[in-house]
Structure 1
Amino acid sequence: MEWFRDHAWEAWLGAAILLGVAEMFSLDLILIMLAVGALAGFVAAALDLNVAVQLLAAAATSVAMLALVRPGLAKKFHGGPELQLGHGKLVGKQGLVTEPITALTPGRIRLAGEIWSAQPYDETLSIAAGETVEVFEIRGATAFVHPVPGHEA
């Protein structure tokens, strides 16, 4: 205990550095909060406060960081836009009919810079070339589409 009193600020600083480095491997934002608590202990030791005050400052700061700061940071870092891959990202997009579409004869649409075979989502519809359609579903290499009202070319 005597050594700690003589080298308190070094011990707190060392603990903060070790916790910060360990956080780089865990990436769960817990160890960095404890490192901030160790920095509070470092400040208390640098001010030559009692060891009990240093421990209290480190513990209070760590708990406050875990309770108040970590949830917001975790939500910000772990959240974000949903990543859509493949043809699923085309559902909801609009395309232009290049060949007429009926339930009996699939047509073609220009969708996201590519030509897709297309069928009407509602089998009773016929969609003329030049109309704008919205993709409701994609099955295999065929887009099932519905006309967008008021967007005829």
Structure 2
Amino acid sequence: MDWLSDNQWAGWLGAAIALGVVEVFSLDLIFAMLAFGALVGMTSSALGAAFIVSFLLAIGASAATLLLLRPPLIKRLHGGGPELTMSHGRLVGSQGLAVTRISGHEVGQVRLAGELWSASPYDETLAIEPGETVEVLEIRGATAYVHPVPRLDP
């Protein structure tokens, strides 16, 4: 017991390592903040502070990091990155050209972003003739559901 009282820093170091190992499995940054507090306690103990002072410093450092550092870190980690739109999702809202006749009874083809797509009219009562400009309103599977873009005739 005399060794532990003479080498309190070793106890704090052991606690910091144990908390760090628990953090590796939990990944919620709580135990990392507690491990930081244990390192502060170890440092103060190694500098000769009494146990109660080291304990209070460890508690203070843990509380400060939990309250001040953890929330922005969690927000940054869980905030995600930029919104990613997968390949065909980018085509929604774009315009293309009808290549074949498209109606509610027959699936046609449109050229979108340089590729040929199967297409059906979004409104099944419409018929879209080849050469008309269309706008993609939805994509289901490999079929683009399109609507003709109104033209202003001079």
- The TM-score with structure 1 as length reference comes to 0.74
When the two chains are superposed, the root-mean-square deviation of aligned CA atoms in Å is: 3.0
User: What residue is the counterpart of 1:79 in the other structure?
Assistant: 79
Aligned positions, number: 148
- The TM-score with structure 2 as length reference comes to 0.74
Q: Aligned residues: percent identity?
A: 50
1:31, CA displacement in angstroms? 0.9
1: distance between equivalents of 2:32 and 2:149? Answer: 52
1: distance between equivalents of 2:48 and 2:118? Answer: 76
CA contact (8 A) 2:98 2:134 kept: no
User: What residue is the counterpart of 1:144 in the other structure?
Assistant: 145
CA contact (8 A) 2:132 2:148 kept: no
Q: SS of the residue aligned with 1:109?
A: strand
1:127, CA displacement in angstroms? 6.0
1: distance between equivalents of 2:120 and 2:14? Answer: 67
CA contact (8 A) 1:95 1:133 kept: yes
User: What residue is the counterpart of 1:105 in the other structure?
Assistant: 106
* Pair 1:48 & 2:64 matched: no
Name structure 1 gaps, 5 residues minimum. Answer: none
1: distance between equivalents of 2:23 and 2:72? Answer: 17
Name structure 2 gaps, 5 residues minimum. Answer: none
Evaluate the alpha carbon distance shift between residue 149 and residue 29 of structure 1 in structure 2; reply closer, same or farther with a 3 A threshold. farther
Q: SS of the residue aligned with 2:80?
A: coil
